[in-house]
Amino acid sequence: MQHSLKMGIRKQIKTEYGLQDLVIEFEVKPGELLAIIGPQGSGKSFALRTLAGTARPDEGFLEVDGKIWFDSVAGICLPPQQRSSVFLQHDQDLTLPRNTTVEDSLFASLRLSDRNNVEWVQQILELTSLTAVKRSRLCTLPAKCRAKVSIAQALASRPQLLLIDQPFCELDWDLRTRLLDELKKLHERVGLTTILATRHYLDVSRVADSSLQLKGLEDVMEKSNSTNMPLLAY
C-alpha cells in the first residue's frame, strides 16, 4: 500500500489584494505521512482537491507511482473516478449512511474486485479496533467511533493515497489528541501514503513523518523532515 507522488502546480487566486499566484511543490515518499500546514487561505485544501481531481490548477503536473494524473502541457487531467485516492473532509462522518451497520458500511466501500471479500473487511475492522461494534448502526455510535469508521471505509477501498482535510477538528481537544494518536499507530501498521492538511501544529507533531508549511500566497514554502514544531495553532 506504499505509493510515491510528485506534484508541482500553480493557480492564480483572486484575493482582497488582487490576483496572486499560489505555487505548491512537493514530493512524498512511499508510505510517508506528509502534513501540509498553514493559515486559512494558504492553499492546503486546494492541494488536496488537486490530488483528488476535484480542483484543477492553471498549470503544473501530478505524478503518482510514475503515472501522470495531471499535466497541463500534455493536456492530461484524470477525473476523480480514475484516481486511486480517498478524500476525507472534516465533516466526513456526517455523510455516512447512519442506519447502516459498521460492517455493512465497509462492504459498501469495497472495490468491485473485493465486493465479497469478508476476510479483508475483518482485517480492516481489526486494524481500526472496530470489531466490537461491527453490528452496531452508525447512528448509535459516539463521535470517536464515527470518525474511525470514516477512516476504515477509506482503507477498505485500497487507495493509493489517503487525503485528510482538517482531521477531527470539530471534536473536543482530548478526544482529538486520542484519535490523532490512533491515526499515527494505524498509519505505522498499514503504511498507506497519506497527505493531511491542517492549521494545527499539534497534528504535525502527533502524526506526521514530514511537513510542508504554507505561509501564504506570496511566501516561500518550507518542507521539513522534522515535526518538532510549536504546539500552537496560527
Q: pLDDT tens-digit profile of 17-34?
A: 788 889 999 999 999 999
What's the farthest any 2 CA atoms get from each other in the chain? Answer: 55
CA–CA distances in Å: residue 4 to residues 90, 128, 164, 178:
24, 24, 17, 28
**What pLDDT score does 85 carry?**
93
CA–CA distances in Å: residue 214 to residues 43, 101, 116, 176, 231:
7, 40, 43, 23, 17
**Tens of pLDDT, residues 113-162:** 787 789 999 999 999 999 999 999 999 999 888 888 989 999 998 899 99
**What pLDDT score does 146 carry?**
87
b (16+ CB within 10 A) / e for 142-154: eebbbbbbbbbbb
Q: Where are the beta strands (DSSP E) in the chain?
A: 5-15, 18-28, 33-37, 59-64, 67-71, 76-77, 85-88, 161-165, 194-198, 210-213, 222-224
Query: CA-CA distance, 71 to 82, in Å (whole number)?
Result: 15
**What pLDDT score does 194 carry?**
94
**What pLDDT score does 92 carry?**
61
Helices then strands, counting H and E runs in the chain, come out as 6, 11
Mean pLDDT by 10 residues, the chain (234 residues): 86 81 93 92 91 96 96 97 89 68 91 83 93 94 88 90 86 85 89 91 89 67 49 31
**What pLDDT score does 96 carry?**
65
Helix, strand or coil, per DSSP, at residue 64: strand
pTM listed for this prediction: 0.84
* Pair type for strands 5-15 and 194-198: unpaired
